[in-house]
Structure 1
Amino acid sequence: MTYKLGILDQSPISPGKTAGDALRRTVELVQKAEEWGYERFWVSEHHQTLDLAGTSPEVLVSHLLAKTTSIKVGSGGVMLQHYSPFKVVEDFQLLSLLFPGRVELGIGKAPGGFSLATQALRYGGAGSDVKFDERFRTLHHFIHDTMPEDHELYGAEALPKPDEKVPVFLLGASANSAKLAAEQGANFVYAHFLNSNNDFLKEAIQQYREIYPEGKFIVAVASFAAETQTAAEQEASDYKIYKIFTESGRSMSVRTLDQVEAFREQTDETITEIKEQEVEMIAGSPDFVKNEFDKLASAFGVEEFIIHTPILDEEKRLKSYELLSQLAVPVLGK
């Protein structure tokens, strides 16, 4: 089987390198991804972290579009809880006018950073009490000109408008998120790399298909390929995450012990537990990875994957994406 494949790049800052280095590697990767036949390339949003350089997807997306010619480029995703839906739609519609048919708007529900960064993002802003689901519905209304007459924002228009509607993708790891996307006629990306329990994936895709059978349902997986199974497994085994649990019931994952300490310093919340976990990653030779993708595709009717590779060795990470491109459906014109 072959699939449409995409890349989710977080612009990781490798040891001894700078944020500028990481962003230059992102540019290099998107250009290689276009050459290798990937369908889409998305960049993420994270705040006040020392090991990821991507803070503003809309800015980085515009730069990557200018550095490529055909690959679709988007956000994976804009953390809508911090922003005005109106402004987000304006930004991405303008990008779509500049680069027709190549812009995708992925929306995330997470804060993308610690509580102090969240406070800073919302400081001085209006409408911060509007819940995420309502923000997402409002964004959908602005894109599709469907604002109800009884809505307080009826009559407001996000201009200028491109000839084609900007494709919207909701990112999530639950059936509730899939249901919200389906109800709005939006595409959905299941974050398998955050929740690899296939029972949750099954429930999410069932919810989505019951409401919106014609929608695009993509699975985002953590995956790493090397020339041999042994080499891939050895590399992947070196990567851990630390899950922080707080007294309030909140939890979040970070990549280093330094980030655990940063969390302690930036929040008043009491940490009740810290768990070290191996990163859930499909790691192996290209044949092994293909077999695992085939299993997911067959079990859940998935035709598209977005690959996230949390490997800090820059050359091994780049080589992995090259090897995994063998699984992709050939893109016309490549």
Structure 2
Amino acid sequence: MAIKLGILDQSIAYAGQTTAEALANTVKLAQLAEALGYERFWVSEHHDSAQFAGSSPEVLIGYLLASTERIRIGSGGVMLQHYSPYKVAENFNVLASLAPGRVELGIGRAPGGLPRSTKALQWTDDSRTLSDKLAEVQAYISGPASEGHPLEGLKASPIPEQPADLYILGTSVSSAELAAERGLPYVFALFINNDPVAAKQAFETYRSRFASTGGSTPRSILALSVIAADSDEEAAELAGELKSVRVTLSSGKTVNVSTEEQAQEFARQAGESYTTEVRAADMTKGAKETVRSRIVELGRLYEVEEFIITTAVGEFEQRVRSFTLLKEALAEQVV
């Protein structure tokens, strides 16, 4: 089968840019993605950040749907542990009613920010796990709360003719288990956790434990950081020396950040001691032939035919060029 490509944009405000400019660039990229024939365009959720402008994917998705005509628009992802499943379902049911067949709801496990913003978002005590909340979202999106639920019969109005498609985003075996348990597509973010062993284990776990629901089958997607340029040398210069820093708090909680400074601040806000593991960030970079070869190789290694691409380096024009070259590189390519 031909490789399917989507884009994840993080609405990054680069040096000298306002957040309004960053969001305007996200709109332009969504329109470019549609013109180039990408399958989908997702936006991320980040909080309390001067660098990332996208704190409310639901709001941004609505604007992007109105600014495009055909491409599927979604979240990569909504951090469900912060929110009422009922309200998330309502938001996406409205979107799916406005743009039938074009809305996708990616659910993420990361906090989307440092402990301070997590505390602000989770303003009420809630003992439900992410798995519990996910089950509620699934129920609310397609109809009323199920029999036996404390809110049995409650509907997340409006009920769309074609609900948003759900995806689970993650970087670990536990997220793969959740996706398999719920019978949902699974997206592994290699650009966040670049451990190939962890990625392999996650996909194998997902496929082996997948619970078929309604005739559904496992659907594996790999999320990559990619920079394509006119030469390998130019791509390497654009990519620089990005790092991936895995923080492990004394409580055992882990999170991936980009710098040692972010790791220190995360631990300070959490009020815990910590250790870090610093690795070179996983980035697929090079001229068209180089990026095509690696993506095909990764597709065969992890047995995936769908990719979500993020490009977080370079000026806006350079990112536009990268997405254009990438689509050209993989036109008609199969794995």
TM-score w.r.t. the length of structure 1 is 0.90
Pairs within 5 Å for 1:22-171: 22-123=22-123, 125=124, 128-145=126-143, 147-171=145-169
Answer yes or no: is 1:20 the counterpart of 2:20: yes
Q: For residue 183 of structure 2, what is the aligned residue in structure 1?
A: 185
Higher relative contact order (CA 8 A, sep 6+): 1
The answer to whether the Cα contact below 8 Å between 1:3 and 1:327 also exists between their aligned partners in 2 is: no
* Aligned pairs for 1:213-252 within 5 A: 214-252=217-255
Which amino acid is 2:289 matched to? Answer: D
Note if contact 1:4-1:329 (Cα within 8 Å) is conserved in structure 2.
Answer: no
Q: Superposed, which structure 2 residues align to 1:223-302 within 5 Å?
A: 223-256=226-259, 259-260=262-263, 262-263=265-266, 266-270=269-273, 272-302=274-304
Larger mean Cα displacement after TM superposition, 139-148 or 68-77: 139-148
Structure 1 residues 215 and 26: CA distance shift in structure 2, 3 A: same
**Offset from partner CA, 1:25-71 (integer Å, 9 cap, x none):** 11111111111111100000010112111100000000111111111
Shift in CA distance, 316/71, structure 1 to aligned 2, threshold 3 Å = same
Runs (4+) of structure 1 exceeding 4 A deviation are: 327-330
Shift of 1:180: 1.6
Distance in 2 between the 1:96 and 1:113 partners?
A: 27
Shift of residue 251, structure 1, vs aligned partner: 3.4
Number of aligned residue pairs: give it: 327
CA distance in 2, matches of 1:201, 1:275: 17
Distance 1:201 1:239, change over 3 A: closer
SS in 2 for 1:8: strand
Percent of counterpart pairs with the same letter? 41
Please give the alpha-carbon distance, in whole angstroms, between the structure 2 residues aligned to 1:240 and 1:182: 30
Alpha-carbon separation, structure 2, partners of 1:245 and 1:206: 25
Equivalent-residue separation in structure 2 for 1:185 and 1:242 (angstroms): 31
Residues 1-20 of structure 1 aligned to structure 2 (within 5 Å): 2-20=2-20
Counterpart AA for 2:225: A
The CA distance in 1 between the partners of 2:90 and 2:224, in whole Å, is 30
5+ unaligned residues in a row in structure 2: which ranges?
none
TM-score scaled to structure 2, two decimals? 0.90
Provide the secondary structure at the position in 2 that maps to 1:194. Answer: coil
Q: What SS does the aligned partner of 2:6 have?
A: strand
Q: Choose 95-104 or 205-214, whichever is displaced more.
A: 205-214
Q: Counterparts of 2:130 and 2:28 in 1: how far apart (Å)?
A: 34
Contact 1:95 1:103 in 2 (8 A): yes
Query: 1:240 corresponds to which letter in structure 2?
Result: K
- 1:85 deviates by 0.7
Deviating more after overlay: 128-137 vs 243-252: 243-252
Q: Distance in 2 between matches of 1:232 and 1:189?
A: 25
Tell me if structure 2 keeps the 8 A contact 1:2–1:327: no
Which amino acid is the alignment partner of residue 99 of structure 2? F
CA 1:96–1:172 in 2, change beyond 3 Å: closer, same or farther? same
Letter in 2 for 1:322: T
Q: Which runs of 5+ in 1 are unaligned?
A: none
Q: CA RMSD in A?
A: 2.2
Contact (CA 8 Å) 1:226, 1:232: kept in 2 or not?
yes
Which of 295, 301, 322 is the aligned partner of 1:320?
322
